[in-house]
Amino acid sequence: MSVGEAIEIATLTDVGRYRTHNEDALACDMSIGLLVLADGMGGYKAGEIASEIAVLTIMAEMSEAMHEDSVPTKFHIDIAEECLSKAVLRANHTIYHISENQPQCAGMGTTLVLAFFYDNQLIAGHIGDSRLYRLRGHVLEQLTVDHSLLQEQINLGLISKEQARVSEHKNLVTRALGVDPSVELDLSKHEVEAGDLYLLCSDGLTDMLDDNVIYEALVQDGNDIEKIAADLVYLANGAGGTDNISVILAKVNRDFAIKNSWTQRLFGKAKVKNKTSA
């Protein structure tokens, strides 16, 4: 079964209660199993340029990589990690180049979070403080670790998570896409199970809602992920809505293992050869 048939997607983005325009951008292409969300930053409307460049570039690069003639026989999850890193570097180069050469875009950048589903596995990637969560059973787990001043202070034991929630320095990220000539994409790999629910979100959600509130929203409406997305945005706006709010939900309904992949064929041939030799 293809990943697009196995995973149900819901997306929603909202300007919030105080911003005049939306600097978040998101994109989903389940023909290649890729979800991308970016939260732009910079001068007037420059942030939305950066976030839009990020999602469009990464989607285009990954689509090209997945649809090359060699893909059906050679593509696998480790190659995907390399392709994602190259796509993000291309996006970083583009944003940085425009920022350096267009005065109205000077200093622009964006956070990034992505999820790539392939062969019953997930590659999670992020830069900045946009997040990826997984709800499995009754356990909500954050799969990304913020690149932020607050997270560094938490790691050093200088402040608690509770203190971080009321800090005045919530939006100080230590890593962003397009701000420097190069950037490192943090990647992690996870096994996927039927019944998993994944949430990608900008900090407009997590600055307003703690993990307990997010958990309750995810479990309360069961299988209706469109309603869950709407509830999350409603709750974030109700808690203040000080920033743009964006969410992508991915509900895994069934297995999406790649049948007869090139690795399976390779090992299958090796087994036949060894059996014949014996």
pLDDT in tens, 55-74: 999 999 999 988 764 444 46
Mean pLDDT in residue range 117-133:
97
For the chain, what percent of residues have pLDDT higher than 70? 85
Range of weakest confidence among 30-39, 74-83, 218-227? 74-83
171 against 133, higher pLDDT: 133
Say whether pLDDT at 36 is over 90. Answer: yes
Q: What confidence category does residue 197 fall into, taking pLDDT thresholds of 50, 70 and 90?
A: very high
Range of weakest confidence among 89-93, 173-177, 266-270? 266-270
Residue 263, pLDDT score: 46
DSSP 8-state assignment for residue 158: S
Q: What confidence category does residue 199 fall into, taking pLDDT thresholds of 50, 70 and 90?
A: very high
Per CATH, the homologous superfamily of domain 3-277 is PPM-type phosphatase domain (3.60.40.10)
Could you tell me the sign of the dihedral formed by the alpha carbons of 144, 146, 82, 1, in that order? positive
Q: What is the rounded CA–CA span in Å between residue 232 and residue 247?
A: 8
Domain boundaries, the chain: 3-277
pTM comes to 0.89
Mean pLDDT in residue range 90-113:
96
Residue 68, pLDDT score: 67
Say whether pLDDT at 269 is over 50. Answer: no
Q: What is the rounded CA–CA span in Å between residue 8 and residue 210?
A: 25
Helical residues (DSSP H) of the chain, grouped into ranges:
3-6, 46-66, 71-74, 77-101, 149-155, 161-165, 203-206, 211-220, 225-238, 262-277
Range of weakest confidence among 72-76, 135-139, 168-172? 72-76
Say whether pLDDT at 275 is over 80. Answer: no
Question: 253 — phi, psi (to 5°)?
Answer: -90, -25
Residue 74, pLDDT score: 63
Mean pLDDT in residue range 231-259:
96
